[in-house]
Structure 1
Amino acid sequence: MIGRRGGKSFVAALVAVFLACFFDYRPYLAPGERGTIMVIAADKKQARVILRYIAAMLNGIEMLKEMKARETANGFDLDNAVSIEVGTASFRSSRGYTYVAVLCDEIAFWRTDDAAEPDFAILDAIRPGMATIPNAMLLCMSSPYARKGALWDAFRRFYGKDGTPLVWKATTREMNPSIPQSHIDRALERDHASAMAEYMAEFRSDIEAFVTREVVEACVSPGVHERPFVRGTKYKAFVDPSGGSNDSFTMAIAHREDGRIVHDLTRERKPPFSPEATIAEFCKTLKDYGITEVHGDRYGGEFPREHFRKHGIGYRLSDKPRTDLYIELLPNLNSGKADLLDSPALVNQIVGLERRVSRGGKESIDHAPGGHDDLANSVAGAVWLCAEVNKAPTALFGTYDGSAGTQRNFYHSTAR
């Protein structure tokens, strides 16, 4: 755990080259088997930072240059039955290798137990591949972040203890005195909590989990993935629009029943997709549930509103920003009043939300770096809309007569 610009990537590359070039692993390898030094990061682009340092050593040091048998886009094959490769943080693609060493870069920013690829599962998939190689090394490096995940667990259990895995903690300036202290001082003045993590190697105390997995899973109806339209039920819908290139376009439908808020349907279109075609598809589903108006945020300006209107669906801007929607969601989860569909992706996104407090004391709730919350946002919006119905605001309700194929609108006005 070292602050930013403290030389983590260079040290990792140096370790990788030393282990690859100065140890003979062939006695422990079967005929045709190669030992692998794997550099793993959240994505291959990030992992290649270390690979470039490795390439500079193998290409620039004459003695090591002679050991190169082959160079590929993803690494090097050496003439001593060792390969150096870059990989991504996946417990599926990490299996099947015989590992000489594994270098895990910026592991604090890998997804934790809220993800389909949690950091603990990736490390568990790696360790069996190291079992037959004496002195095989697992080296995880990162600037610290939130107090969760594999890095926090290792720090909490092993830091400062003898006879255990070594946990190395150092500030940026301790590792790299060339970084001006004035630069760090300015960063501390701008955002103390962030700079303490970035340069002083301290875990952030201003970032905590929004809700536990146990609370969310207690609200899930196992095996129920979608609920059909029921005549006479007043449904509410919330959308989280997207332009089709980065985030998903999601929609959630819910209703209120016997004091509970029941999640009926979720739709997600992952990029790439056509926003116009997605809106047309969502509008058909909305009409099937007798819904004539959808709520959503201000994303895309007039574009989503215009296209929803073309299909006969009104688009009302949400009164609440994302953080407020999650704050409204929390008591419904804690009290068990929310009845959620069985969706692992939705559960992971809600569990992955982080609560942050700014220097001015303002609270925000959002996904972790590299994470997503498109499903969680639309479901939180639908839950909020159903909770608002109970507060008797002015609202537009739609009912749908499926047999006759007609749609009727009813206006219900009640003073707040």
Structure 2
Amino acid sequence: MNIIEFMESPALTPGSFEGDSWEPAKAVLSGAFGLPMDANRLELFKALAGGREAPTSRVREFFWIAGRRSSKTNNAAGIATYMATIGAELFGLLDKLKPGERGVVNIIAVDRPQAKVAFSYIAGMFDASPVLSGMVTKRTADSIDLNNRVSIEVNTNSFKSVRGRTAICTILDECAFFKDEASASPDVELYRACIPALATTGGMLLGISSPWAKKGLLYQKYRKHFAQDSDVLVVQGSTEQFNPTIDRRIIADAFEEDPEGSKSEWGGQFRDGISDFITREALDAVTRAAPLIRPYDRRFKFVGFADPAGGGQSANADEFTLAIGHHEDGVLVIDRVDAARGVPAEITERFAGILSEYGVKRINLDRFAGSWPSDEFEKHGIKCEHSPKTRSELYIDSLQAITSGRVEFPPDEKMIRQWQNLERRTARSGRETVDHPPGQHEDRANAAAGLIALHGQKKRMKTSEWL
């Protein structure tokens, strides 16, 4: 049974794949698995694959680029279920397993909520089918073990989740938006970790995602393989192409309100005008080897900048951050960057104590911090003034000082990664902004940028201004 027959079978995936919105998916899946196509399906395939010839056998890698509401995760779940059951046997992947070894079909999602969505689709297929449910030997909140020595697992993006495993199939769900503050390129690192896991079985790797900027794994694969005849298939299409049943008025309204954003969200196209803001090499050049924190030195006058936007206790919340620095031999030395999550009033009290240790009695705050941080800091003798610049302006104004070596960063790897992950975005009007990618944080970088942009010139650090 091929994948199209599997997905359309009422006994296996009842009601999951049907109607007009399923036709484009059938075309690209036929190409990915080397299935024969009639003239209409072949024409549709070529329109989505850049005109390349249809593969005659299952491809090694398959990247599916589509706009939102194109049933990407639902299709990923169907492919995972197929590869864990019929596909594993049909393609001889089970024969590659050692005695006692289990093969893994791994869906790796951008975050925990997205992983839950993917797993709910998979679990729903097994629950609805007596045939599939009869294969289940064990089930947890994020995995299903089958009686054919295959496990289906759903994880968030981390290269650690695939190491040491033998993979039947790996699916990267929304891979253009993978994020990890411990890495500047988590999608590429994860991909590199997946290849050895698939090498034993000759399994299949799929990346299914809406596009983002012209960088990263998805764009690399697009540039190299789209419209090219190879065993790596890349298809690309808009929401309307992959889901003809979508209400076109919704898409039209979105394009009217945000043409550039809708280009990727609904049009399935990579965004123009997004580029990396600063290189790792430039950051390393101004980062001291040690120490992480330089202590108070009575020879210098110190200044501070705080970004109190966060402070929540969730692991995904923004951090409440503080940066302290001083001028030394023409260089703005950032002595320390502190960051915390928790009760804002408690963090403010602790940070005020640190500022007092350095003799700092007045600081700048992030422009959008509101009034409560000023009130809290003043309770502890610290005067506050809001930044006259937006965080984007702080970054832009900091760049020259960094690239010319007039800044010294502490060896705070998380802060350095945040700087490295920043993106420069240029609107059609020519206006530039700098921001973090979707779903990421830059609180530590913002605190450092505030020091550099507002206090990078020594004339702004006269004692009279800060006493």
Q: TM-score of the superposition, structure 2-length normalised?
A: 0.80
Q: For the aligned residues, what is the CA RMSD?
A: 2.1
Partner SS state of residue 268, structure 1:
strand
- Cα gap change, 1:120/1:86 in structure 2, threshold over 3 Å: closer, same or farther? same
- Residue 346 (structure 1) aligned with residue 415 (structure 2): yes
2:164 corresponds to which residue?
A: 96
- Cα gap change, 1:388/1:395 in structure 2, threshold over 3 Å: closer, same or farther? farther
Are the equivalent residues in 2 in contact too, given 1:35–1:82 (CA < 8 A)?
Answer: yes
- Residue 307 (structure 1) aligned with residue 376 (structure 2): yes
1:188 corresponds to which residue?
A: 255
Give the Å deviation of 1:142: 0.5
Q: Mark the runs of 5 or more structure 1 residues left unpaired by the alignment.
A: 398-408, 410-416
Are the equivalent residues in 1 in contact too, given 2:286–2:402 (CA < 8 A)?
Answer: yes
Q: In the alignment, which of 326, 330, 340 is matched to residue 259 of structure 1?
A: 330
Give the Å deviation of 1:107: 0.5
- Cα gap change, 1:159/1:26 in structure 2, threshold over 3 Å: closer, same or farther? closer
Q: Deviations over 1:98-130 (max 9, x none)?
A: 111111110000127973672111122222111
- Cα gap change, 1:128/1:208 in structure 2, threshold over 3 Å: closer, same or farther? same
Give the Å deviation of 1:29: 2.0
- Residue 377 (structure 1) aligned with residue 446 (structure 2): yes
Are the equivalent residues in 2 in contact too, given 1:308–1:314 (CA < 8 A)?
Answer: yes
- Residue 287 (structure 1) aligned with residue 356 (structure 2): yes
Percent identity for Structure 1 against Structure 2: 37
- Cα gap change, 1:215/1:113 in structure 2, threshold over 3 Å: closer, same or farther? farther
| Amino acid of the structure 2 residue aligned with 1:256 | H
> How many angstroms apart in 2 are the aligned matches of 1:223 and 1:43?
34
- Cα gap change, 1:94/1:79 in structure 2, threshold over 3 Å: closer, same or farther? same
1:337 corresponds to which residue?
A: 406
2:97 corresponds to which residue?
A: 29
Give the Å deviation of 1:228: 2.3
1:126 corresponds to which residue?
A: 194
Q: Deviations over 1:262-296 (max 9, x none)?
A: 11111111x2x232222222122212211111111
Give the Å deviation of 1:363: 3.0
Are the equivalent residues in 1 in contact too, given 2:422–2:435 (CA < 8 A)?
Answer: yes
Residues 67-106 of structure 1 correspond to what in structure 2 (within 5 A)? 67-106=135-174
Q: TM-score of the superposition, structure 1-length normalised?
A: 0.89
Moved more, 220-229 or 374-383: 220-229
2:69 corresponds to which residue?
A: 5
Residues 236-255 of structure 1 correspond to what in structure 2 (within 5 A)? 236-241=303-308, 242-245=310-313, 246-255=317-326
| Amino acid of the structure 2 residue aligned with 1:107 | C
Are the equivalent residues in 1 in contact too, given 2:306–2:323 (CA < 8 A)?
Answer: yes
| Amino acid of the structure 2 residue aligned with 1:121 | E
Moved more, 330-339 or 66-75: 66-75
- Cα gap change, 1:392/1:251 in structure 2, threshold over 3 Å: closer, same or farther? closer
Partner SS state of residue 396, structure 1:
helix
| Amino acid of the structure 1 residue aligned with 2:256 | E
Give the Å deviation of 1:90: 0.9
- Residue 320 (structure 1) aligned with residue 389 (structure 2): yes
- Residue 140 (structure 1) aligned with residue 211 (structure 2): no
Are the equivalent residues in 2 in contact too, given 1:40–1:88 (CA < 8 A)?
Answer: yes
Q: In the alignment, which of 154, 162, 176 is matched to residue 243 of structure 2?
A: 176
| Amino acid of the structure 1 residue aligned with 2:319 | S
Q: Mark the runs of 5 or more structure 2 residues left unpaired by the alignment.
A: 1-64
> How many angstroms apart in 1 are the aligned matches of 2:459 and 2:145?
66
Q: Deviations over 1:203-223 (max 9, x none)?
A: 111322222222222221223
- Residue 211 (structure 1) aligned with residue 278 (structure 2): yes
Q: In the alignment, which of 206, 214, 217 is matched to residue 150 of structure 1?
A: 217
| Amino acid of the structure 2 residue aligned with 1:312 | G
Q: In the alignment, which of 82, 96, 111 is matched to residue 43 of structure 1?
A: 111
Give the Å deviation of 1:248: 0.7
1:403 corresponds to which residue?
A: none
Give the Å deviation of 1:10: 1.9
| Amino acid of the structure 1 residue aligned with 2:264 | A
Give the Å deviation of 1:394: 9.4
Are the equivalent residues in 2 in contact too, given 1:44–1:86 (CA < 8 A)?
Answer: no
| Amino acid of the structure 1 residue aligned with 2:147 | D
Are the equivalent residues in 2 in contact too, given 1:243–1:300 (CA < 8 A)?
Answer: no
> How many angstroms apart in 2 are the aligned matches of 1:178 and 1:286?
59
- Cα gap change, 1:116/1:202 in structure 2, threshold over 3 Å: closer, same or farther? closer
The structure carrying a bigger helix percent of its residues is 2
| Amino acid of the structure 1 residue aligned with 2:403 | N
2:8 corresponds to which residue?
A: none
Partner SS state of residue 92, structure 1:
helix
- Cα gap change, 1:392/1:292 in structure 2, threshold over 3 Å: closer, same or farther? closer
Give the Å deviation of 1:356: 2.3
> How many angstroms apart in 1 are the aligned matches of 2:343 and 2:76?
43
- Residue 363 (structure 1) aligned with residue 432 (structure 2): yes
Q: Deviations over 1:83-106 (max 9, x none)?
A: 111101011232222111111110
> How many angstroms apart in 2 are the aligned matches of 1:59 and 1:282?
53
Are the equivalent residues in 2 in contact too, given 1:297–1:317 (CA < 8 A)?
Answer: yes
> How many angstroms apart in 1 are the aligned matches of 2:220 and 2:290?
33
| Amino acid of the structure 2 residue aligned with 1:218 | A
> How many angstroms apart in 2 are the aligned matches of 1:157 and 1:263?
42
> How many angstroms apart in 2 are the aligned matches of 1:62 and 1:121?
39
1:107 corresponds to which residue?
A: 175
Are the equivalent residues in 1 in contact too, given 2:184–2:421 (CA < 8 A)?
Answer: no
Are the equivalent residues in 2 in contact too, given 1:38–1:85 (CA < 8 A)?
Answer: yes
Moved more, 352-361 or 38-47: 352-361
Are the equivalent residues in 1 in contact too, given 2:367–2:388 (CA < 8 A)?
Answer: no
2:292 corresponds to which residue?
A: 225
1:66 corresponds to which residue?
A: 134
| Amino acid of the structure 1 residue aligned with 2:329 | D
> How many angstroms apart in 2 are the aligned matches of 1:101 and 1:395?
65
- Cα gap change, 1:12/1:244 in structure 2, threshold over 3 Å: closer, same or farther? closer
- Cα gap change, 1:106/1:120 in structure 2, threshold over 3 Å: closer, same or farther? same
